[in-house]
Amino acid sequence: MQTVLYVTDDQERKGNKEIMEEFTVIGKRISKVDAVDKATGRALYIQDFKLPGMLYGKILYSKYPHARIIRVNTEKAKALPGVITVLTGEDIPPVRLGVYKDNPPLKAGKVRSYRDEVAAVAATDLETAREAINLIEVTYEAVPAIFDPEEALKPEAPLVHENHKTNLLKMPWNLHYGDVEAAKIEAAFNVEERFSTTWVTHCCMGTSGAIADFDHADNLTVYTNTQIPSLAQKDFQETLKVLGFKDKRVRVIKPCIGGGFGSKLDTYAYEHVAILLAWRSRRPVKIVFEREEEFCATSPRQPTVTYISMGCDKEGKLLYRDMSMVLDNGAYTSWGATTPSVMMMPITSLYRVPNVRYNAKCVYTNNTYSQAMRGYGNPQATFAIESAMDMLAEAAGIDRVEFRRINSNQPGDVTPQGLKITTCGLPECIEAVSRDLEFGRPREKGVGVGLASLIHVGGGARIYKSDGCGTIIKMDDYGKVDVFTGASDMGQGADTIIAQIVAEELGVKVEDVHVFHQDTDICPWDVGAHASRTTFVAGNSALGAARKIRHRLLNMASETTGIDEDKLTLKNRAFFADGKQVLPIGKLLRGSHFKPRGEMMMADNFYDPPNENMGRDFSGNMSATYSFGTHGVRVKVDEATGKVEILDYIAAHDVGRAINPMLLDGQVHGGVLMGVGYALTEQVILENGRNMNPDFRDYKILTAMDAIHSKAVVIETVDEQGPFGAKGIGEPGCVPTAPAIANAIYDAIGVRIKDLPITPEKVLAAIKKKNGAVSCGIDAFTQKEQPCE
Amino acid sequence: MRLPPFAYERPRDLYEALELLNTFGKDCRVLAGGTDLLVRMKQGLATPSRLISLKDLPELATINESDGFLNIGTAVKLADILAYEPIQYRWPGLLEAVKSVGAPSIQHFSGTIGGNLCQDNRCQFYNQSKFFRQARQTCNKAGGNTCFAWKGGSDKCHSICQSDSAPILIAMDARITIKSKNESRTIPLEELYSSVGERPLTLADDEMLTEIHVPGPVPGAGCAFEKLTYRSSIDYAVVSAGAYVQTDGSKTVNARLIIGAVARGPLAIAAVEKTLKDRTAGDEEAIDQAGREAMNAAEAFIANNITQPVEYRTQMVSVITKRALSRATKRALSHTDVSEAK
Amino acid sequence: MSREIKLMLNGNQIFVAIEDNWTLLYLLREKLGLTGVKEGCGQGECGACTVIVDGLAVNSCIYFAVEVDGKDVLTIEGLAAADGTLHPLQKSFVENGGIQCGFCTPGMILSAKALLDENPQATEADIKQALAGNLCRCTGYVQIVESVEAVVDKSSEDINVVVRETGESG
């Protein structure tokens, strides 16, 4: 294993010749291939699309969190000039959405959350559609609602779905490896604690939207913001089937996406409503969310209540980890309900821990329904684990950094869940953070340091039955390359990474490679942009296709030039032998094309990573490799206001190989600030199911003035399975941020906040409690205790 | 988006503007920067049938100093106040307040001082979309008769004044000129605020705020503005405070403290002057006491009208008060001869 | 009411019929097809709709179209030179990783331009302040601030290259 450590400082990076010189484009800070279009305003997002004859759709949402729909009167709306179609839940066939198929796109009979879609309008312009929505009269009969998932489990709780008989989803997430009870008895030190996390939302700058368009033969084209074009195609196909269209084609076209972060991992009611309106009106229909809808009618990260106990022996070796969770699923079921499958990974495998038990309950409530968000449950689980790690280290009297060193995963480990750790840079990440943050530095008042680590899938994640991705490559007569990938670029730079991989393999320049990723009629299948899998899976897929072409090119060049294949190198758009150019690629291609029985240079490849679906006991090597990282932070707490300021931040990640260090830094910096928001400021405030802060004033994503100059440290472990050694990095940046900050706050002022977000009022209340409520802390200005009136 | 139709008037001089106000009265709104008004129009919270734009009235967009006053026209952009150099050493409290408004610099290029002072009161139950509000009864502020921000309901509106410049300008004893077609009057700024949530300004329908007059610094006096927010920009205040402290070089001789973002108007804490007067300037015990007094006075007003909890905001009144007073005192003690200071 | 207004738009004088109740964003995006101007929130909170009016960066979603009568408006479409040469800020955002999903990018670049036109030697703090009304969810702002800093570092000569000279024409 080759381990290279470098810091994201240009000078140091440029100085690091050993990794830079092997490749011409891999490892280079190459601009994103779509960046110029985006910098000049040419890039088209769903908002920017208009089709001839297009109508504008709007959705009417529920006025109650839980109510029977008695009557819907659409007469006035239908009478409004410009209104073409009005639909209610009664007007549509039984289309069902989501993982559990428990969600009709328009509700009939009953609403189960404020987000429930009750009716929809298509009109010739947006203002008319908006006006028409206000003219629809709905009579409701409110019924008792339930908003707390723990309460919802009680027998007397109102049922969200009566025919489901219980609010507990029938997804039994239970695992037990080793013997936790025996380990508890054996352990010298134990901790036991309850943690909770709340609703946070993706806040993509570009809101959600879709356009549905039928042709005369009832084939459907949907332009939509999606991270899962192929699965969306399947969902829309099912809707068509219900509408009575059999054997019709569905084409999904994905415009530029103004941010994904997991929000577009499923198809949603608005997409199917657009289809239904288009079906009924026989015209293209566009629905684009306003910001308030984006806050209220998209699916946030699921909140968790976590009970954890953990113990170690006298030397500090972890003996067991025992966790149980309750997840608020909300009123319907999307992938949020399956996040325990990923939470299992840190729970069983972050640090070496031989005995593990975990169970999770997903519970229906009358809140908005949840979805995965960057990390797929990992941030929630890691918050509890890494907070408890610090508590256990303290109980055992062992230095926090040392405690993590003792328990660090190592290359070659097989974890209790059966995860096969191949490359593992966790020890190096811990060292980098501990060295950089100077944990031993003399302490200032109100200032503290903390760290937390992560494990994440780095080689795909086999949640669906296939974890694959297809690629088709064609080369034209001049050596220009078109790559048709199943992967979805949502701003993270998948196109660029794929272009780099292909360019490197084919010895052409990045600008010679055009990556198409946005159209299911053109591009092969892919399971979607999730699980930080795109670089690894789509990268390997593209690499495999490019290798086939490279192989043929070398073969043909050898025939043409009479030089042995192994003496030829392919770089800079040509073949070289003994350092001299012998044949440009274009010439070779034209030669093979324009001749009797000529041929075109094309290849395809479907790559499905060597990972495993979970077995009945939830064990299995779900990813082909794993990413690791450690974050460290120094905070300053204003003990009078409870405000937390971040002074230094370092994020060390084992990424396998940095294919594009500039894009990699972007993923880390972006992930970190999103993680800081999760830790300190962000929360969807639900008051009895009603979103109280559906705007950027009160939903506090951080601003440029709050930005922290996080230092990104890259550990390259060059994974054998990864394309050029790379592992995934999309999600890890926001996984360990919250516990690192919580640990630093504890270090600074001796209070442990167990509930996210760590808002000033919570910090202050904790200080108050710690001081026996005789003091509200020290006024940072006067340096005096202030009494708590 | 397109807004409901209205008539747009662009008077060429102040007289014309006032005449329009006189003619159309309560059906029209004065449009300065529009950063507050447009959002409220989009949410259906303001439905004027006529807008009177101040864009062509340069006489309302000037800053000058005369007779010991800094005179700021109502349509002066926040960015222009920040760019007015003498403010940095002569009115640092005002600088702090203006700087903290909204999202710099983009909103400072549109937002005006008059708009900041005359913005409507806010409440988390009121400043929402029409759809959001439709799910509940109509509240006092929207013309109904209930209040969601007040525990148990209330027959009064418990919205808050979120102007950042008001607390400091009142603390500095600023005066304002209000004009109508037939009248012009100059009054203390604090009299602009009615403390009535439903209609927070005392302006008559035909009146317009035209100018703000800020007294020049006095030797031995200092002012400061404190604003607690969770983020570094965009946020409205959780609590804010404008403080003015005058000393004779060792003792406090005069002090004023105005708390923002807790009550229906800027909240003057009268007890603070008495508490600090004749005490050693910067005496911590006195300032602590002032903090407690501010908190006790504010407590009665704080409603559940923003997303931060009432209890926390109440505690923060004391903290923010003390910080504002301490910094104002420090400035007072270091600015013994302000007129020549630079 | 409808009326005709005259403005300089991306260096060209145009006359356009508008309604009083249109926002500038609506005029630019829906009527003039300048879809590089983005709508992120419609309430002046996110900055995606930022355009430059008479040298100042403003939120076009809370700015009436009628109020640009006689003014000079610059959108992202007008920032590159006529021959397509990117403005130094555009180039820098491209080269320094200042762009991910790209939805905030036009507004971000224009806010930065308004700053550098005013203050070519802006510091990191100035830059963060100038971008404080432009939200970004992807980058954590680090590479955005670096992109602007990279332009500051160069001589300020090539910054003021585009438009604005005819600003008083109306």
**For all residues of chain B together, what is the average pLDDT?**
95
Give the mutation candidate from A136, A698, A755 for the B interface (greatest B CB count, under 10 A): A698
Domain with residue B236: its CATH number is: 3.30.390.50
> Quick check: B315 and A134 CB within 8 A?
no
Q: Which chains, if any, share at least 3 CB pairs under 8 A with chain C?
A: A, B
Closest Cβ–Cβ partner in A692, A696, A788 for B307: A692
| H-helix segments, C71-136 | 88-95, 105-118, 124-130
Min Cα separation B78/chain C (Å): 12
Written as one letter, the residue type at A53 is: G
E strand segments, A594-717: 601-607, 626-637, 644-654, 686-687, 690-691, 711-716
Give the mutation candidate from A10, A13, A40, A518 for the C interface (greatest C CB count, under 10 A): A40
What is the C-alpha to C-alpha distance for residues A673 and A710, in angstroms, rounded to an integer? 9
Cβ-Cβ pairs closer than 8 A, B with C, add up to 98
Shortest CA distance from A699: residue in chain B: B307
DSSP notation for A284-297: -EEEE--HHHHHHS
Q: Which chains, if any, share at least 3 CB pairs under 8 A with chain B?
A: A, C
Cis peptide before A661 (omega within 30 of 0): no
Could you tell me the two tokens for A725?
A: 């050694």
**A216 vs A56, A145, A279, A283, A479, CA distance in Å?**
20, 45, 11, 10, 39
A706 in contact with B, Cβ within 8 Å: yes
The CATH number of domain C88-159, selected from 3.20.20.70, 3.40.50.300, 1.10.10.10, 1.10.150.120: 1.10.150.120
Q: Domain count of chain B?
A: 2
Q: Are residues B211 and B235 in the same domain?
A: no
Domains C2-78 and C88-159 share a fold: no
Burial of A616 (0-12, 13-18, 19+ CB in 10 A): exposed
**Fold category of C2-78 in CATH:** Ubiquitin-like (UB roll) (3.10.20)
Q: Are residues B170 and B265 in the same domain?
A: no
Q: Are residues B200 and B236 in the same domain?
A: no
Min Cα separation C78/chain A (Å): 8
Q: Are residues B262 and B244 in the same domain?
A: yes
pLDDT of res. A784: 56
Is B181:B22 a contact under the CB 8 Å cutoff?
yes
Closest Cβ–Cβ partner in A63, A764, A782 for B287: A782
Shortest CA distance from B330: residue in chain A: A781
Q: Where are chain A's structural domains? A: 46-143+208-288, 468-607
Is A449:A634 a contact under the CB 8 Å cutoff?
yes
Chain B residue numbers touching A696 (CB-CB < 8 A): 234
- Per-residue pLDDT band at A786 (split at 50, 70, 90): low
Question: Is it the case that residue A17 has pLDDT exceeding 60?
Answer: no
* Interval A269-300: pLDDT, tens: 999 999 999 999 999 999 999 999 999 999 99
**For all residues of chain A together, what is the average pLDDT?**
94
Closest Cβ–Cβ partner in C45, C90, C134 for A39: C90
Range of the domain at B69: 59-118+160-215
Chain C residue numbers touching B31 (CB-CB < 8 A): 64
> Quick check: C59 and B106 CB within 8 A?
yes
pLDDT of res. A4: 42
CA-based nearest residue to A262, from A295, A205, A300: A300
Q: Are residues B208 and B234 in the same domain?
A: no
- Per-residue pLDDT band at A776 (split at 50, 70, 90): low
* Interval B13-39: pLDDT, tens: 999 999 999 999 889 999 999 999 999
Closest Cβ–Cβ partner in B5, B10, B35 for C62: B35
Q: Where are chain C's structural domains? A: 2-78, 88-159
Chain C residue numbers touching A42 (CB-CB < 8 A): 36
Closest Cβ–Cβ partner in C46, C101, C129 for A696: C46
Question: Is it the case that residue B248 has pLDDT exceeding 60?
Answer: yes
> Quick check: C114 and B39 CB within 8 A?
no
pLDDT of res. A18: 45
Question: Is it the case that residue B161 has pLDDT exceeding 60?
Answer: yes
* Interval B278-333: pLDDT, tens: 999 999 999 999 999 999 999 999 999 999 999 999 999 999 999 999 999 999 99
Q: For a pLDDT cut of 90, what percent of chain B falls above it? A: 92
Question: Is it the case that residue A13 has pLDDT exceeding 80?
Answer: no
Write out residues 449-478 of A within 8 Å (CB-CB) of C: none
Q: Are residues B312 and B279 in the same domain?
A: yes
Min Cα separation A765/chain B (Å): 8
Domain spanning A468-607 has what CATH number? 3.30.365.10
Closest Cβ–Cβ partner in B8, B79, B232 for C20: B8
Closest Cβ–Cβ partner in A491, A662, A695 for C43: A695
Strands A220-224 and A250-253 turn out to be parallel
pLDDT of res. B134: 86
Domain with residue B196: its CATH number is: 3.30.465.10
> Quick check: C140 and A40 CB within 8 A?
no
> Quick check: B307 and A690 CB within 8 A?
no
Please state, as a whole number, how many other Cβ atoms lie within 10 Å of the Cβ of residue B79.
20
pLDDT of res. B34: 94
Q: Are residues B79 and B172 in the same domain?
A: yes
CATH 3.40.50.1220 fits A46-143+208-288, yes or no: no
